[in-house]
Amino acid sequence: MGGKQGAHSMNSGRESNTNKNAVTEPRWFQWLLIAIAVGYLAFLLLLPLASVFVNAFQKGVQAYFHSFADADTLFSIRLTLLIAAIAVPLNLTFGVAASWAIAKFDFRGKNLLTTLIDLPFAVSPVVAGLIYVLLFGKQGWLGPWLDAHDIKLIFAVPGIVLATIFVTFPMVARELIPLMQEQGNQEEEAAITLGASGWQTFWRVTLPNIKWGVVYGVILTNARAMGEFGAVSVVSGHIRGMTTTLPLQVEILYNEYNFVSAFSASSLLCFLAFLTLIVKAIVERRMKKERTFEG
Amino acid sequence: MTGVAEKKRKKSASIIPGFGLTLGFTVLYLSLLVLIPLSATFFKAAHLTWPQLREIFTDRQVLLAFRLSFVSAAEAALVNVFFGLLVAWVLVRYRFPGRGLLDSMVDLPFALPTAVAGIALTEIYASTGWVGSILDRFGIQVAYTPLGITVALIFIGLPFVVRTLQPVIEDLDHEVEEAAASLGASRWQTFSKVIFPALLPPLFTGGSLAFARVLGEYGSVIFISGNMPMKTEIVPLIIVSKLEQYDYAGATAVASAMLVLSFTLLLSINLLQKWVGSRAPIR
C-alpha cells in the first residue's frame, strides 16, 4: 500500500495500481463488507418475514385459507380498507394544499408551519391515540357534550380514523414540499399569464410535474394507515367485529394462541409491505430518470 | 380567487392564485387535528397538582419504565449507527448483484406493520424459536427480557441511520480522497482521517433520529417484551395500562413528559441538521 508513486500520476488515464488501491478498498475487503451487510440485513429483516409465512402455513395451505373464513377477520380486513379509504384522501388533500402554500409563496411563519406539520412524527403512537381520548372520551373535554348528543367518537370507527390521520399526517406534505420547491414557479406563472385559471394550472401544469411525488406520498401514507397499531389500539377499545382493524385482529388472535390465524392475517400485511416497497422502488427510479432528463 | 390570494408581503409579483385557500385549509386542518388535541393534553396536565405529579414521577414502576425505554433505545441506536454505516457504505460505494433489492429492503421496517414485526420477532427469539433455541443453549434469553426490547428497536430504527447517511456518502468528494491518497495516505488513513470525520455529523443525527423515533415505539415491542411490571415495561405501555385502569391523570402526566422529551429531542436534531448542513465539511 502507501500511494507514494501514485502521487506523481494523478491523471486517471495512467493511474498506477497503488493509487487505485488507495482510493478504494481492496477487492477482498469489499466482498467481506458486502457479505456482512447482506448477512446482517437477511438476519434482521428476512428472518422475521420468513417466520410469518412458515407459521402461517405450518398446518398446511388449507388451514391458511381457512383462517380467512373467520367473520371477525373478514370484518377487520374490511374495516382496515375503509379506514385507509377515508384517511388517505384527506391527508392527500391536505398535503397538496400545504405544499402549494409553502412551496409557491413566501409568508411570515413559513418555517414554523413546516415544523408544526412534522409534529405528529415526534409523537409516540400511543400518545397520538391518548390525545383524542382526552378530548373526545367520556372523561374528556368534549365527552359530556358528545354523550348528550349521542355521538360516539372514541371506541368507535371515527376515533380510529382520527388516530390514523394523525400518525400519517405529514407524509404527503413531506414528499411534495421539497419537490414543488425544486420545480419553481415559472411554469405556473407562464400558464397564468397565458390565461389559465388556477385550477387549470394545477391540474395541467403542477400535477404532471409532481405526480410521482404524489404516488410516493400516497403509498407511504396507505401503508402506515393500514398497518398502524399503537394509536389505533388506544382509541379502538378492541370491540370485536366493530372496532378491530387487521393489525388489532392479529394481536387478538396471537394472544388467544391462535397462531396459524394470527400469522395468516399477518401475511396479508406482509403483502401490503411488499407492494409498498415495489411501488416505492419503481417511483424512485422514475423520479431519478426524469431528473436526469431535465438536467 | 386571485383577490384573496393577492399577497401583501414581499415578492408581491406572484400571480399564482390559491394562497388564501390553501394556507387557510392547511392551518385549519392542522389546528383541528393536531394542534388543538395536543394542547388540550398539555392543558389537562396543567390541571394536575404538585403532590399528584410527585406521586406519579416518584413511582418506581414509572421510573424504571423510563430507564428501560432510554437504555433500550440508546443500545439500539448504537447498534444501528455501526451497522447503518456499514450498510450505507456498501450500498453507495460497491456494485454487486442484488444491490437494488438490498437497498429497497432497508425500508421494510417502515412498510411492515409494527404488530407483524412484533409477533414475528417474538416467534424467532422465543426459547423455542429459530434463533432463540440456539441462544438458549448458551443461556441467553432474548424474548421476554430487556434484550428482546432492544432487538425490536434495532429492527425499527435501521432505516433512519442508513437513509441519513446514504446521500452524504454519495456527495463525498472523490477528489479529496484522491488527494489524500496521492499525499501518501493509506486507505485506512484516508478513511479514518478524511472520510470518517465527514460522516460523523450525519452519523450523529441519524443515530439520534433512530433514538428519538424508537423511544415511543409500541407495537413491535409489546409482544417480545412480555410486559412484566418493573422488568420489561416500556413507557408507552405504562401510558396504556394507566388508561386501562381509568387513571387519566397518570396517563396524561406520563404522556406529557414523553411529548416534551421527544419534541426537545427532535427540535435539537433539526437544529443540528441545519447547523451541520450549513458547514458540511466535505462537499
Look at residue A22 in the predicted model and tell me its pLDDT: 62
Test mutation, B12, B26, B122, chain A, max A CBs within 10 A: B26
| Helix (H/G/I), strand (E/B), else coil: A105 | coil
Contact B67, B149 (CB under 8 A): no
Contact A230, B237 (CB under 8 A): no
DSSP-assigned letter for residue A80: H
> Dihedral sign, CA of A193, A196, A197, A200?
negative
C-alpha cell at A132: 383524542
Rounded to a whole number of angstroms, the CA Rg of chain A reads: 25
C-alpha cell at B254: 406520563
Look at residue B4 in the predicted model and tell me its pLDDT: 44
Look at residue B247 in the predicted model and tell me its pLDDT: 92
- Give the pLDDT of chain B (283 residues) as one tens digit per residue: 444 444 444 444 578 999 999 999 999 999 999 999 999 999 989 889 999 999 999 999 999 999 999 999 999 999 999 999 999 999 999 999 999 999 999 999 999 999 999 999 999 999 999 999 999 999 999 999 999 999 999 999 999 999 999 999 999 988 888 889 889 888 888 899 889 999 998 999 999 999 998 999 999 999 999 989 899 999 999 999 999 999 999 999 999 999 999 899 888 888 887 776 654 443 3
Residue A40 has pLDDT above 70, yes or no: yes
Region of residue B14 (left: phi > 0; alpha: psi -120 to 50; beta: else): beta
Can you give the pTM of this predicted structure? 0.90
- Tens of pLDDT, residues A142-162: 989 998 999 999 999 999 999
Give CA–CA dist A207/A201, Å, rounded. 9
CA distance B150 to chain A (A): 13
Report ipTM (2 d.p.).
0.89
Characterize B3-37 residue by residue with b for buried, 16 or more Cβ atoms within 10 angstroms of its Cβ, and e for exposed. Answer: eebeeeeeeeebebbbbbbbbebbbebbeebbeeb
User: B104 to chain A: which residues are within 8 Å by CB?
Assistant: 277-278, 280-281
Residue A212 has pLDDT above 70, yes or no: yes
C-alpha cell at B161: 441511520
Give CA–CA dist A45/B104, Å, rounded. 11
CA distance B149 to chain A (A): 14
- Tens of pLDDT, residues A64-81: 999 999 999 999 999 999
Interchain CB distance below 8 Å, A188 and B11: no
User: B266 to chain A: which residues are within 8 Å by CB?
Assistant: 118, 121-122
Interchain CB distance below 8 Å, A281 and B259: no
Test mutation, A124, A221, A257, A270, chain B, max B CBs within 10 A: A124
Q: Is A220 on the interface with B (CB under 8 A)?
A: yes
B216-B218-B219-B222 Cα dihedral, nearest 10 degrees: 150
CA distance A53 to chain B (A): 10
User: A22 to chain B: which residues are within 8 Å by CB?
Assistant: 180-182, 185-187, 190
Which amino acid type is present at position B109? P
Give CA–CA dist A83/A252, Å, rounded. 19
